[in-house]
Amino acid sequence: MNSRVVQFAGLGVLALALTGCPPKPQVKQPEPPKPEQAQPPQAQEEPSLRGKDYREVPELSTIYFELDQSTLRSDARDTLQKNYQVLTQHSDWEVLVEGHCDERGTTEYNLGLGQKRAAAVRQYYITLGLNGSRVATISYGKENPICTEHTEECWSKNRRGVTKVRINPETAPASSGGASSSGASDMGSPSSTGQEPAK
């Protein structure tokens, strides 16, 4: 009798071993929420350049580029951050960023490269927080050098981005003083033949 009980018990253990424990019900884990894709900032239209004269002011510095590059160097970003601090203090200033190149390459190529350089500066100002509707761009390509020697030292001075400003009379304070009272040079038009003063 005992041997039969042992046999039945053994068969029960064997059956359990073969069939295993009943499977646990599968609980479907909720999918983690998908991160919202960052929406690119809306393009901010550039102001018109018609009938507007822009000029350099000592508070704003020029930046420089590597050969055939429109990428901002680290020193250029530092300079633009300082320029941005000045621009935020003058809400009545409209901004023009000029892109310039050295003499090498075709006129068409340099006009395109100069525009990319100006656009890179404008975009960085916008990234810092400047309203893009205040910032226009223009490319002079290789047509407006500040140095005319055929040397690398000279060429490096011509590969530049220049930030100029004009006072917007609609946003200028009643007594703007200083910057608005001095004359503006006619450098806002690509047809201008005047030379920029070397810094």
Letter string b/e over residues 156-178, b meaning 16 or more CB atoms within 10 A of that residue's CB: ebbbbbbbbbbbbeeeeeeeeee
Domain count for the chain:
1
Give me the pLDDT at residue 49, please.
Answer: 79
What is the tens place of the pLDDT at every residue in 90-129? Answer: 999 999 999 999 999 999 999 999 999 999 999 999 999 9
Question: Does residue 7 form part of some domain?
Answer: no
Give me the pLDDT at residue 52, please.
Answer: 79
Asked whether 188 and 94 are in contact (CB, 8 A), the reply is no
Look at residues 192, 175, 182, 195 and name the one whose alpha carbon lies nearest to residue 57.
182
Question: Does residue 9 form part of some domain?
Answer: no
What is the tens place of the pLDDT at every residue in 47-85? Answer: 887 777 999 999 999 999 999 999 999 999 999 999 999
CATH of the domain at 83: 3.30.1330.60
Question: Does residue 93 form part of some domain?
Answer: yes
Beta strand 135-141 with 93-100 is parallel
Better pLDDT: 44 or 37:
44
Give the range of the structural domain holding residue 107, as residue numbers without chain letter: 63-172
Question: Does residue 162 form part of some domain?
Answer: yes
Look at residues 115, 137, 113, 114 and name the one whose alpha carbon lies nearest to residue 125.
137
Indicate the DSSP class of residue 55: B
Question: Does residue 90 form part of some domain?
Answer: yes
Question: Does residue 164 form part of some domain?
Answer: yes
Question: Does residue 24 form part of some domain?
Answer: no
**C-alpha–C-alpha distance, residues 55 and 128, integer Å:** 22
Question: Where are the alpha helices (H) located in the chain, listed in sequence order?
Answer: 2-19, 74-88, 107-128, 152-158
User: pLDDT at residue 188 above 80?
Assistant: no
Edge to edge, the sheet with strand 135-141 lists 63-64, 160-167, 93-100, 135-141
Average pLDDT, the chain: 78
Question: Does residue 192 form part of some domain?
Answer: no
